Amino acid sequence: MATSESSNPRAPGAAPRYELLTLGDELLLGLTANGHLTWIGAELGRRGVQLARNVTISDDADAIAAQFRESWAKADVIITTGGLGPTCDDRTRDVLAQALGQQLVFDPAIERAITERFAKFNRVPTANNLKQAYKFERGEVLPNANGTAPGLWVEQDGRVLVMLPGPPNELRPMFTEQVIPRLAARRLLAEGEAYIQIRTAGVGESALETKFQPLFDRHPGLGIAFCAHLGQVDCRVSSPDGKYAMAALRALADECAALLGDDFVGFGHDSMVKVVADQLRAQGRTLAVAESCTGGLLANSFTDVCGASKFFQGGIVSYSNDAKMLLLDCPECLLSQHGAVSEECAVAMATGVAEQLGADYGVAITGFAGPTGGVGDNPVGTIYIGLHAPGGDWSKKLTYPGPRCAVKERAVTAAIDWLRREVVKESRRVAAPLAN
């Protein structure tokens, strides 16, 4: 069914309406998480766009066609994910071409790209792979550097259709490197970030608002949004009506940061791990970690950072007492007297891993993640974090109720935050004599 050549329904000056259609039976069956919504929503939000809605659709052709026609009648920009692959359940391209009254035409350039990608793996594409070599007759191709299914771009009826493949490692670079610039060039979103984000740790959402409110009250008309994460809260400051320039928003954000002290993580989107990594590299310091109940999650957090080898010496997962003694030189008498879940053991693990791997900083986590375990004053959810630093050795006790996976994640976040605070203090200590 072809759409009419109607003009864009958006009123002059109105914000463009964006809709996201995520396709695939695997999403509705719960076999795959709908990460596209959170990621694309966040990327658009940075540019001042809020998705009007997200609809998840099965691979059924009639369902795809019906939802697309409904969205096409309302939206200015439609983004679809999935259904562009080579198999029989990948129907998005064909269904939407029919809905838009366009023919699909074979593109030899796409065929060459598919063949060349297969050749890198010493393989030859099968006939169904060439299904991906078709594009809209009045559309453009978004090259896919990480897969065989290219994205597709169509402008028709005063609207924009963006079709992206489902795998995140293909979709994300395509979206940031190709889709965002195209949309910005058409003034369908801001060229730069539309807000300033203040990242915090160690302060709750309500307490953060209470702390900031006197500053916000002096600037009527601000756009303020809080977003709580695991152990962190972000505050976004914007000017919806353009009353305040970005320089004024930055000055206000600087005041907020000064109020926070060590609870201030940074501006923008850098994670606490990235902040720690940057500080360690700037100081020329190194880090090693030892883990028991978190089973390598802490080490994985740091190896996710590009260039981690510049500061990260390594990690040791010492789950049993024997492993703690053998790999970290934890004294047997210490484990016998205080137990593996204790502040004494956490410190011994932190100092042990720093010595074994030759690091300036050592961080250790030990605890009862549950649902079993826990004794006396150390119930399930008890976590001890040990920290070895140039300024000394310490430990702290935390208690996190909840399921095992949540306890482990919160323990890792707490450990990274404590390390962040210490490396920032060390940076100040080093800088103080230089300033004088």
What's the CATH number where 372 sits? Answer: 3.90.950.20
Rounded Cα–Cα distance for residues 336 and 35 (Å): 46
Are both 177 and 208 inside the same structural domain?
A: no
For residue 6, is it within any domain?
Answer: no
Mean of pLDDT values over 278-305: 97
Global confidence as pTM = 0.84
Are both 260 and 153 inside the same structural domain?
A: no
Domain finish residue from 126, 158, 185: 185
Is residue 231 over pLDDT 50? yes
The string of pLDDT tens digits covering residues 18-38 is: 999 999 999 999 999 999 999
Please state, for a pLDDT cut of 70, what percent of the chain lies above it. Answer: 96
Are both 262 and 299 inside the same structural domain?
A: no
Instruction: Write down the pLDDT at residue 297.
Output: 98
The string of pLDDT tens digits covering residues 309-325 is: 999 999 999 999 999 99
Place of tokens 């395509």: 174
Domain finish residue from 185, 215, 240: 185
Domain ranges, residue 109: 18-185
8 C-beta neighbours (distance < 10 Å), count: 13
Instruction: Write down the pLDDT at residue 435.
Output: 61
Is residue 377 over pLDDT 90? no
Is residue 2 over pLDDT 80? no
Identify the band that residue 11 occupies on the pLDDT scale cut at 50, 70 and 90.
low
What's the CATH number where 66 sits? Answer: 3.40.980.10
For residue 9, is it within any domain?
Answer: no
For residue 12, is it within any domain?
Answer: no
For residue 8, is it within any domain?
Answer: no
Instruction: Write down the pLDDT at residue 8.
Output: 56
Are both 49 and 166 inside the same structural domain?
A: yes
Are both 135 and 263 inside the same structural domain?
A: no
Are both 337 and 203 inside the same structural domain?
A: no
Is residue 170 over pLDDT 90? yes
Domain finish residue from 153, 185, 217: 185
Are both 81 and 200 inside the same structural domain?
A: no
Identify the band that residue 6 occupies on the pLDDT scale cut at 50, 70 and 90.
very low
For residue 190, is it within any domain?
Answer: no
- Least confident segment among 5-9, 130-134, 218-222: 5-9
For residue 13, is it within any domain?
Answer: no
Are both 149 and 229 inside the same structural domain?
A: no
Rounded Cα–Cα distance for residues 340 and 349 (Å): 10
Instruction: Write down the pLDDT at residue 436.
Output: 56
Instruction: Write down the pLDDT at residue 102.
Output: 97
Please state, for a pLDDT cut of 90, what percent of the chain lies above it. Answer: 88
Are both 44 and 61 inside the same structural domain?
A: yes
